[in-house]
Structure 1
Amino acid sequence: MTTFFRDIAPIAYEGPSSSNPLAFRHYNPNEMVLGKRLEDHLRFAIAYWHSFAWEGGDPFGGQTLVRPWHPQNRMETAKLKADAAFEMFDVLGQPYFCWHDADVRPEGDSFAESLRNFEEIIEYFEEKMASRKVRLLWGTANMFSHRRWMSGASTNPDPDVFAYSAATVKTCMDATHRLNGENYVLWGGREGYETLLNTDMGRELDHMGRFLNMVVDYKHKIGFKGTILVEPKPQEPSKHQYDFDAATCFGFLQKYGLENEVKLNLEQGHAILAGHSFEHEIATAAALGVFGSIDMNRNDYQSGWDTDQFPNNVPEVALSYYHILKAGGLGTGGTNFDAKLRRQSLDAEDLIAAHVGGMDICARGLKAAAAMLEDGGLEAELQARYAAWETTEAKSMLASDFDTIFADVISGKINPQPKSGRQEVLENYVNRFV
């Protein structure tokens, strides 16, 4: 055990009037919303990498966060880090957590040594989870930090790196399965290019497609019942990443016959980097039938890069959850806080307060989204706007051809007049709830 969180009591719900910075004001896990507990709607998860493995560095400066488990290069400190993590889970009471392999175990001098370290810490997790409610939302492999991944993992020009990637993902899928994880995520952090001068894009895409098919085959071989998720991101660290956004990923999945096997884990910050809103990415994935899970965070809109800050914008969050609820909810997915402290936020209390605030923002957003759905105002406007498509004439037109349609238009029978989209009215409507 550690003393890192020793002065922080388990977080309780105290209601909107509370001024306690370490209390929930809006997130009451047992509150019923649309017939389901709020905890079951939101399915919160803590990201092991940002909360425990990140040391506070940025492109212009090194470590600022000094923790009892630093340096993170020995099994003793890996277990101390796990002790602190599970103590934090006890404080926050969220139902899930997530990890990369490199977050939880020290790197060995060989693959075999790294695997021994990994298996030892997974056994340690298993022991801790046995006496707690916290579960694994998903596991994943870090195939972007070490120098071996500098030219990609499954897309690497060196077949030996492809092989190393396959072995790495196999071990992470095995560990996820062992811990009864509900999903397995692949984020291709280096699956892209820095320059087309040295890139055979067609070959790299084919290799990535083959790799993902291997992942799906192995899922079925070991009997893993969870969902395979791919996480889109347009850039950073690569100049251009192949998993650019939800639509790009869907096209990739279709080309390699995976659209019925793989869904998407969408991140707010990545949506912004792609030039989209988070609600756009969620609505796109839902419309294409591949929505799976979310990483909740935000970017600093003045910085122009992926700052991974905790969410604090209720209207943005509400509209995101509106589309999630319309799509039937998170399913096996969850709300993972892929978010980190600012590098000058040094204390254990900062880490707890960041998650408390994020969970409250998400609770406010989801409750606002649920209220809009129950009220039905947006859905009524949609039905009214597209009502003409429900007529016999419109359905007949869709089943006809250009010559038939041309005849109707040239005869003067069809002469469309524009109608207001009522955007400002709808924006005012949303503001009533948020």
Structure 2
Amino acid sequence: MATGFFGDIAPIRFEGAQSANPLAYRHYQAEKKVFGKTMAEHLRPAVCYWHNFAWPGSDMFGAPTFERPWFGETMKDARLKADVAFEMFALLGVPFFTFHDRDVVPEGASLAEFGRNLAEITEYFEAKMKASGVKLLWGTANLFSHPRYMAGAATNPDPDVFAYAAAQVKNAIDATHRLGGANYVLWGGREGYETLLNTDLKREQEQLGRFLSLVIDYKHKIGFKGVILVEPKPQEPTKHQYDYDVATVYGFLKRFGLEKEVKLNIEVGHAVLAGHSFEHEVAMAVSLGLLGSLDANRNDYQSGWDTDQFPNNAAELLPAFYQILKGGGLAPGGLNFDAKVRRQSIDPQDLLIGHVGGLDVCAQALSAAAKLIEEGSYDRFLVERYSGWDAPAAKAMLAGPSSLEEIASRVARDGVDPKPKSGRQEFLENLLNRFV
């Protein structure tokens, strides 16, 4: 039975770029083919549970602004929340959703009660997923909100907190596995430190490495075929988090021999907080073989924190989608809209409008990246810029057998005197803008 939360809003359809309907797609056509796959197959869009159905609209200076009929701590509330969520998935026509364990059920008075609640909603999800065809992109556990995690979960100085977190993750992986989740995410919201005065860095990183190893072992034990994803973030809420950025996480995985077991879930807002662009983090992950999944959002560049706004600039996203297409795509990952409406956007339709705009912008960027690759001039520029490395002497410098002395002798013997060449940045910026 329909909940009535969204009133009489009809399912959102594609109406084309000239449409002025805020509840219609202008660029996202789920079945449109791009490089032999549909837009839905390329983007694999997902709606997240936490911002849309769990966040009350509060901030550090203000009380909640959203009035939602499912806000409460009972399983009846949890089921109503699920009913509204699946109505929203259907209205948007998205194929996936994502959740933290604490988003979907009340925690209860004990871990055992929490586990029972999660098992109950998992069964409820199963029926709704079967009826709707919506799938789970990934599940995860909230190891950062409860006071027990104020000093971290896996990195906590108290071994009982480590054990509690392990039990909570086990339950969340079990639920994700039962629901056929394509991935499982570990985000270390408080796996870092606020001050070095009370922190043993070496010990905490060893604990984090052991925790991740235990998760991977359990994945294989239960036959979970999904990908384990780690989500980089440099700070906020802690001063420094151990999963700072793509390169840092790669070094961590190499240290513990886990680089072949884990891929990364990269977020736009986290990349910016780390002092990088989104395309840098995506390109770095592609180069290291670690691209797994993406969180689509943006930050307010005047604010120094993670504001989780919906993406609205296709030109900004084009370079990242170029890297994604060149890197082979996202599956079994996808594009999770880890974004929330603003505190003043209190109408139910605002939840839909935010996702419509975000999906349209990502579809624009995807189409532009495909056209850029098809046209070929950008790829030809890159090939030409590095073409000198195809010469035998250049190959010998990289792969051998040239030694440092032999390279130096060749420079002196042949009178090598390289002249600077233009990087043509302005030309390339203008080139990319032609395709948006």
Give yes or no for TM over 0.5.
yes
Alignment of 1:107-256 (within 5 A): 107-256=107-256
**2:63 aligns to what?**
62
CA RMSD of aligned residues (A): 0.8
Equivalent residue of 2:3, what SS?
coil
What residue in structure 1 maps to residue 36 of structure 2? 35
TM-score of the aligned structures, taking structure 2 as reference length: 0.98
**SS state at 1:430 partner:** helix
**Deviation at residue 412 of structure 1 after TM alignment:** 4.9
- Which secondary structure state, in structure 2, belongs to the residue aligned with residue 130 of structure 1? helix
Q: Which residue in 2 is equivalent to 1:284? A: 284
What is aligned with 1:406? Answer: 408
Distance of 1:204 and 1:170 partners within structure 2: 21
397, 403, 419: which one aligns with 1:417: 419
Cα drift, residue 174 of structure 1: 0.4
Q: Distance in 2 between matches of 1:328 and 1:256?
A: 27
CA distance in 1, matches of 2:415, 2:254: 40
> What is residue 273 of structure 1 aligned with on the other side?
273
Deviations 1:38-62 (A, max 9, x none): 1101100000001100110111112
Q: Distance in 1 between matches of 2:318 and 2:396?
A: 38
Query: CA separation in 2, counterparts of 1:411 and 1:25?
Result: 62
Equivalent residue letter for 1:281: E
- SS of residue in 1 equivalent to 2:342: coil
Residues 279-428 of structure 1: pairs in structure 2 closer than 5 A: 279-398=279-398, 399=400, 400-428=402-430
Q: In structure 1, how many angstroms separate the alpha carbons of the residues matched to 2:111 and 2:349?
A: 37
Q: Distance in 2 between matches of 1:412 and 1:135?
A: 63
| Displacement of 1:387 | 0.2
Deviation track 1:91-116 (CA, whole Å, cap 9, x = no partner) reads 01100000000000001111111111
Shift of 1:242: 0.2
Q: Which stretch shows the higher mean deviation, 96-105 or 316-325?
A: 316-325
The alignment partner of 1:411 has SS state of helix
Gaps of 5+ in 1: none
- Post-superposition offset of 1:397: 2.3
Say which SS state the counterpart of residue 185 (structure 1) adopts: strand
CA–CA distance in structure 2, aligned partners of residues 269 and 338 of structure 1: 9
Q: Which secondary structure state, in structure 1, belongs to the residue aligned with residue 330 of structure 2?
A: coil
Deviations 1:58-93 (A, max 9, x none): 1111211110112x3111111111110001011011
Q: Distance in 2 between matches of 1:408 and 1:372?
A: 40
SS at match of 2:113: helix
Whether 1:429 and 2:425 are equivalent positions in the alignment is no
Query: Aligned equivalents of 2:125 and 2:209: distance in 1?
Result: 32
Residue 133 of structure 1: how far off its partner (Å) = 1.4
What's the secondary structure of 2:132's corresponding residue? coil
Distance in 2 of aligned mates of 1:128 and 1:6: 20
1:219 to partner: Cα distance: 0.6
**Alpha-carbon separation, structure 2, partners of 1:191 and 1:340:** 24
CA distance in 2, matches of 1:377, 1:301: 32
1:5-20 matches, within 5 Å, as 5-20=6-21
Which range is displaced more, 3-12 or 292-301? 3-12
Distance 2:63 2:95 in 1: 32
SS for the counterpart of 1:165 is: helix
Structure 2 Cα separation of the partners of residues 60 and 274 of structure 1: 25
Give the partner amino acid of 1:405.
I
CA deviation after TM superposition for structure 1 residue 6, in Å: 2.4
Alignment of 1:253-264 (within 5 A): 253-264=253-264
**Distance between the aligned counterparts of 1:3 and 1:331, measured in 2?**
34
Where has structure 1 moved over 4 Å in runs of 4 or more?
none
Aligned residues: 433
Q: Secondary structure at the match of 1:266?
A: strand
Distance 1:412 1:319 in 2: 40
Cα distance between partner residues in 2 of 1:397 and 1:185 = 41
Report Cα offsets for 1:192-227 as digits up to 9, x if no partner: 000000000000000100110111100100000010
Greater shift, 3-12 or 196-205, is seen at 3-12
Q: Matched residue of 1:427: which SS? A: helix
Identity of aligned residues (%): 63
**Cα distance in 1, alignment partners of residues 330 and 94 from structure 2:** 16
The letter of the residue matching 2:407 is I
Using the TM superposition, give the Cα deviation of residue 130 of structure 1 relative to its aligned residue in structure 2, in angstroms: 1.1
Q: TM-score, normalised by structure 1?
A: 0.99
Residue type of the alignment partner of 2:44: R
Match of 1:22 in 2: 23
- Give 1:211's aligned amino acid: F
Shift of 1:411: 3.1
Between the aligned partners of 2:44 and 2:118, the Cα distance in structure 1 is: 26
What's the CA shift for 1:234?
Answer: 0.2
Distance 2:408 2:135 in 1: 60
Question: Which residue of structure 2 aligns with residue 84 of structure 1?
Answer: 84
